[in-house]
C-alpha cells in the first residue's frame, strides 16, 4: 500500500490522528538553538532522526519532516539558498528512516517569512516558484503527503496550494492557516470564510495551527467545522515569553491534552500541538485520546458575532483635500522641527503662516534619521493650538507593521487627516548609526495600510470597526537619477491608494515638463516642492550633500555671479529663481510645497505674494 493510500485509509478511521509535536522545542531542550531549525538536517541528521523516532514511539501517526523553513527565500536569509533540494529531500529521508512504516511522513512547507508585494518584498510569482522548488524536493524524497502550516496570509497559503498541485495534482494536502487575531475577530465568520476558501482550493484537509493556545483553537475549529470538510488543529501549547532570545512556555501537558481531546470529540480528525510541544506534551495527548472517537461530542452551532455596521456617511475629508477637489490652488510650508521638547518656535511659525493664508504646514518625521519629537504629537499640538491643518510625514524606518498601523489609528482619532507616507532615511546617517532599521513596510506598504484603514480594514484584512478617511499623500523626486524607476514607484503608490504627491524641490522647468509627460495618465494631485536658495554655499550643500536634491549647474552659476555683489544679492537671486520656476509651473500643478531654509518662512510668503497678489491675506 502506498503512503497516499495509507493516508486515505487513516482519514476513514474513526480514531484521531495525532501528528508530531515541535522538533524545534525538542532541539532547544537539548541545547540546540541555531536557526533555521532545518539546518540540523545537515549538521545533526542522527539527532533529528532520534527525535522523530521518539515521537513515533509516543504514538504519532504522521511525522513532520524538518523542512518548515526550507524554501529558498527563507534559507536565503541564512546563506543556505543553494541547499533547498538537499535539505528538503534529506529531511524527508530522515523522517522516513524514523517512521519505519509505523507512521506516515509529511513534507512540511511554511511561509516565506515576509509579506507579498506591495507590503513586502516578494512578488507572488517569486513565492510560487520558491514553493515549487521545495515541493519537488519533498516529493522526490518520498513524502506521503504535504502539510502547509503556519501561514498568516491566506493569499500566500493559496499560492502554496496552487504550487503543490502544479507539481503533483494528486498529492494529499493538509492546509493550515495561523490565526494570530484576537478573540473579537475569531468570534466572527472569518475562520469559516478561511475554511471555505481552502475547501474551494480542493485540499484534502483544512485547519489551523500555532499562535493561539488550546482554548482559542477550540473556538476556531467550531467555526471552521461549518465549512463541512475534514479538519486539522495543532495549537501552540500556550503563549510564550521571550528569554535570552528564545521562546519559553509555561504550560501543563495534562491541560493541553484535555483540550486536544475536546477538539477530537468535536470532530477534528487530525490533532496535535505545535509551538512548544515537546515529547511529554505529545505523550499526554496520545494517552488522552486512547478511547476517543472523532465527532463523538460534535461541536454545537457557534454564536457568530455580527459585524458592527459601518457608518453610512464617511468621515469628513481634510480641508486640504476639499480645496484640491474644488480646484483651488493650495500652498503648504514645511516647519523646521527642533530637537527636544520646546515646540514654541514651531507654533510661532505655524501661527505666522496661518495668518498669511497658507493652507497647511508639513511636519517632517526625523528627516536624515535625526532624533525629533514624534510627528503625530507635533501635528496634534499645532492643529489644536493654532488651528492650521497639518500634512504629517510618517516614516516606516522605525516601526514594525503593528506599530505603524497602531499609530495611524491614533492619528485619525486625534484629528490628523493628511498623512505623507515616506520610507525614511537610513539610520546609519543619523544621530544613532547603530540603531536598528525596522522598516517592515516601505512607503508603498504604508500607503496600502492607509487605504485599507479608509475601508475599515487592517493589513491582515481584519475589520477595525469604523473607517478612517485619510488624505493619502506620497513623495516623488522628478529629478531622480533613474527617473523611470522613480515614476514606476509612483505608479505603484497610486495603485495602492495615494491621492496627492509632494515632490522634492525643483528648479528646472524642463525637468518638471519631462516628469509630467511620464505621469500624464495618473489620476493624482501634484504639489511641487520649492526650496528657495539663500546662498552659493547653501546651493552647493544641497546639490552635493543632500540625497534627492539636484541643483542645476545654471542655478549654481547664476547664484555664484550674484554672490560677487554681496550676500543680499545672493539671497535675492535664489529667491528670484524660485519665483520664476513657480510662475512657470503654476498652471501645470495643483499646489506648491515650500521648504524655506533656516526658519525663513517669510521667503515662502514672499513667493506666494508675488504669485498671487490678489490674495487679501497676503
* Residues 277-298: b if buried by 16+ CB within 10 A, e if exposed: bbbebbbbbbebbeebebbeee
Q: Which residues pair with 233 in a beta bridge?
A: 208, 271
Q: At what angle do helices 45-58 and 279-288 cross, to 10 degrees?
A: 20
Q: How many whole angstroms separate alpha carbon 45 and alpha carbon 143?
A: 17
Q: How many whole angstroms separate alpha carbon 93 and alpha carbon 81?
A: 20
Q: How many residues does the chain have?
A: 618
Would you call 8 exposed, middle or buried from its count of C-beta atoms within 10 A (0-12, 13-18, 19+)? middle
Query: Where do the DSSP E strands lie in 315-384?
Result: 330-334, 360-363
- Which residues make Cβ contacts (< 8 Å) with residue 315, sequence separation at least 6? 467, 468, 469
* Residues 85-110: b if buried by 16+ CB within 10 A, e if exposed: bebbbbbbbbbbebbeeebbbbbbbb
Of 1.20.120.530, 3.30.470.10, 3.20.20.220, 2.40.100.10, the CATH number of 321-611 is: 3.20.20.220
Query: How confident is the model at residue 614, as a pLDDT?
Result: 47
Query: How confident is the model at residue 616, as a pLDDT?
Result: 36
* Sign of the Cα pseudo-torsion (149, 205, 66, 112, in order): negative
Q: How many whole angstroms separate alpha carbon 240 and alpha carbon 231?
A: 25
Would you call 202 exposed, middle or buried from its count of C-beta atoms within 10 A (0-12, 13-18, 19+)? exposed
Tens-digit pLDDT profile for residues 215-247: 889 999 999 999 999 999 999 998 877 776 667
At CA 361, angle to CA 360 and CA 362, rounded to 5? 125
Query: How confident is the model at residue 617, as a pLDDT?
Result: 36
Of 3.40.50.10470, 3.40.50.12280, 3.40.640.10, 3.20.20.330, the CATH number of 3-288 is: 3.20.20.330
Tens-digit pLDDT profile for residues 148-168: 999 999 999 999 999 999 999
Q: Where in the chain is the domain with CATH 3.20.20.220?
A: 321-611
Q: How many whole angstroms separate alpha carbon 270 and alpha carbon 20?
A: 11
Query: How confident is the model at residue 300, as a pLDDT?
Result: 79
Q: Where in the chain is the domain with CATH 3.20.20.330?
A: 3-288
Q: Which residues pair with 419 in a beta bridge?
A: 392, 472
Instruction: Using a cut of 0.85, tell me whether the model's pTM lies above it.
Output: no
Three-state SS string across 347-358, please? HHHHHHHHHCCC
Q: At what angle do helices 509-518 and 483-496 cross, to 10 degrees?
A: 50
Query: How confident is the model at residue 313, as a pLDDT?
Result: 60
| Residue ranges in the chain whose pLDDT is less than 70 | 181-187, 244-246, 302-313, 612-618
Give the three-state DSSP class for 95: helix
Q: How many whole angstroms separate alpha carbon 480 and alpha carbon 467?
A: 35
Q: How many whole angstroms separate alpha carbon 187 and alpha carbon 282?
A: 28
CB 346 within 8 A of CB 372: no
- Which residues make Cβ contacts (< 8 Å) with residue 101, sequence separation at least 6? none
CB 241 within 8 A of CB 248: yes
Cell numbers representing residue 391 in the block = 500634512
- What single DSSP character describes residue 115? P
Query: How confident is the model at residue 437, as a pLDDT?
Result: 82
Q: Torsion over CA of 441, 446, 448 and 452, rounded to 10 degrees?
A: 120
How many CB atoms are closer than 10 A to CB 553? 9
With CA atoms as reference, report the closest residue to 570 among 609, 607, 538, 610. Answer: 538
Query: How confident is the model at residue 306, as a pLDDT?
Result: 56
Q: How many whole angstroms separate alpha carbon 26 and alpha carbon 424?
A: 41
Query: How confident is the model at residue 283, as a pLDDT?
Result: 97
Amino acid at each position: 500500500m502506498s503512503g497516499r493510500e495509507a493516508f486515505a485509509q487513516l482519514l476513514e478511521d474513526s480514531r484521531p490522528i495525532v501528528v508530531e509535536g515541535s522538533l524545534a522545542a525538542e532541539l532547544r531542550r537539548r541545547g540546540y538553538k541555531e536557526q533555521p531549525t532545518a539546518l540540523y538536517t545537515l549538521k545533526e541528521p542522527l539527532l533529528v532522526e532520534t527525535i522523530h523516532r521518539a515521537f513515533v514511539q509516543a504514538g504519532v501517526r504522521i511525522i513532520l519532516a524538518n523542512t518548515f523553513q526550507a524554501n529558498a527565500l527563507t534559507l536565503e536569509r541564512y546563506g543556505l539558498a543553494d541547499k533547498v533540494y538537499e535539505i528538503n529531500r534529506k529531511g524527508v529521508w530522515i523522517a522516513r528512516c524514523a517512521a519505519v512504516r509505523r507512521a506516515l511522513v509529511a513534507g512540511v512547507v511554511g511561509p516565506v517569512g515576509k509579506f507579498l508585494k506591495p507590503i513586502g518584498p516578494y512578488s507572488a510569482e517569486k513565492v510560487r516558484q520558491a514553493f515549487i522548488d521545495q515541493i519537488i524536493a519533498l516529493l522526490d524524497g518520498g513524502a506521503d503527503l504535504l502539510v502547509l502550516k503556519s501561514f498568516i496570509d491566506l493569499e500566500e497559503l493559496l499560492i502554496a496550494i496552487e504550487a503543490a498541485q502544479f507539481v503533483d495534482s494528486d498529492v494529499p494536502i493538509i492546509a493550515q492557516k495561523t490565526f494570530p487575531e484576537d478573540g473579537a475577530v475569531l468570534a466572527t465568520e472569518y475562520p469559516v470564510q478561511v475554511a471555505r476558501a481552502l475547501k474551494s482550493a480542493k485540499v484534502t484537509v483544512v485547519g489551523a495551527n500555532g499562535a493561539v493556545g488550546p482554548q482559542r483553537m477550540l473556538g476556531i475549529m467550531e467555526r471552521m467545522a461549518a465549512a463541512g470538510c475534514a479538519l486539522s488543529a495543532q495549537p501552540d501549547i500556550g503563549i510564550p515569553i521571550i528569554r535570552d532570545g528564545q521562546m519559553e512556555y509555561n504550560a501543563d501537558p495534562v491541560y493541553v491534552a484535555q483540550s486536544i481531546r475536546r477538539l477530537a470529540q468535536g470532530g477534528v480528525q487530525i490533532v496535535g500541538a505545535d509551538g512548544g510541544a515537546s515529547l511529554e506534551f505529545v505523550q499526554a495527548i496520545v494517552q488522552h485520546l486512547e478511547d476517543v472517537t472523532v465527532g463523538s461530542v460534535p461541536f454545537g452551532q457557534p454564536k457568530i458575532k455580527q459585524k458592527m455596521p459601518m457608518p453610512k456617511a464617511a468621515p469628513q475629508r481634510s480641508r486640504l483635500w476639499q480645496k484640491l477637489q474644488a480646484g483651488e490652488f493650495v500652498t503648504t510650508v514645511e516647519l523646521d522641527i527642533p530637537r527636544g521638547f520646546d515646540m514654541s518656535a514651531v507654533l510661532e511659525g505655524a501661527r505666522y503662516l496661518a495668518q498669511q493664508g497658507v493652507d497647511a504646514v508639513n511636519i517632517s518625521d526625523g528627516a536624515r534619521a535625526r532624533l525629533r519629537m514624534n510627528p503625530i504629537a507635533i501635528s496634534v499640538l499645532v492643529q489644536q493650538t493654532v488651528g492650521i491643518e497639518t500634512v504629517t510625514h510618517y516614516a516606516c524606518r522605525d516601526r514594525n507593521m503593528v506599530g505603524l498601523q497602531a499609530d495611524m489609528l491614533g492619528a485619525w482619532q486625534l484629528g490628523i487627516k493628511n498623512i505623507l507616507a515616506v520610507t525614511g532615511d537610513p539610520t546609519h546617517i543619523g544621530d544613532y548609526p547603530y540603531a536598528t532599521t525596522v522598516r517592515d513596510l516601505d512607503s508603498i506598504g504604508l500607503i496600502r495600510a492607509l487605504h485599507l484603514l479608509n475601508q475599515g480594514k487592517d493589513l491582515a484584512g481584519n475589520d477595525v470597526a469604523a473607517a478612517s478617511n485619510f488624505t493619502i499623500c506620497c513623495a516623488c523626486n522628478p529629478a531622480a537619477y533613474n527617473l523611470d524607476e522613480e515614476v514606476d514607484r509612483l505608479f505603484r503608490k497610486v495603485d495602492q491608494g495615494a491621492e496627492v504627491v509632494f515632490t522634492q524641490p525643483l528648479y528646472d522647468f524642463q525637468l518638471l515638463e519631462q516628469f509630467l509627460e511620464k505621469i500624464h495618465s495618473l489620476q493624482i494631485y501634484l504639489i511641487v516642492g520649492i526650496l528657495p536658495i539663500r546662498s552659493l554655499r547653501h546651493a552647493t550643500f544641497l546639490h552635493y550633500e543632500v540625497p534627492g536634491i539636484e541643483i542645476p549647474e545654471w542655478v549654481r552659476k547664476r547664484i555664484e555671479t550674484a554672490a560677487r555683489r554681496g550676500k543680499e544679492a545672493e539671497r535675492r537671486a535664489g529667491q528670484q529663481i524660485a519665483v520664476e520656476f513657480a510662475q512657470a509651473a503654476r498652471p501645470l500643478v495643483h499646489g506648491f510645497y515650500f521648504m524655506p531654509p533656516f526658519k525663513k518662512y517669510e521667503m515662502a510668503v514672499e513667493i506666494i505674494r508675488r504669485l498671487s497678489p490678489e490674495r487679501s491675506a497676503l
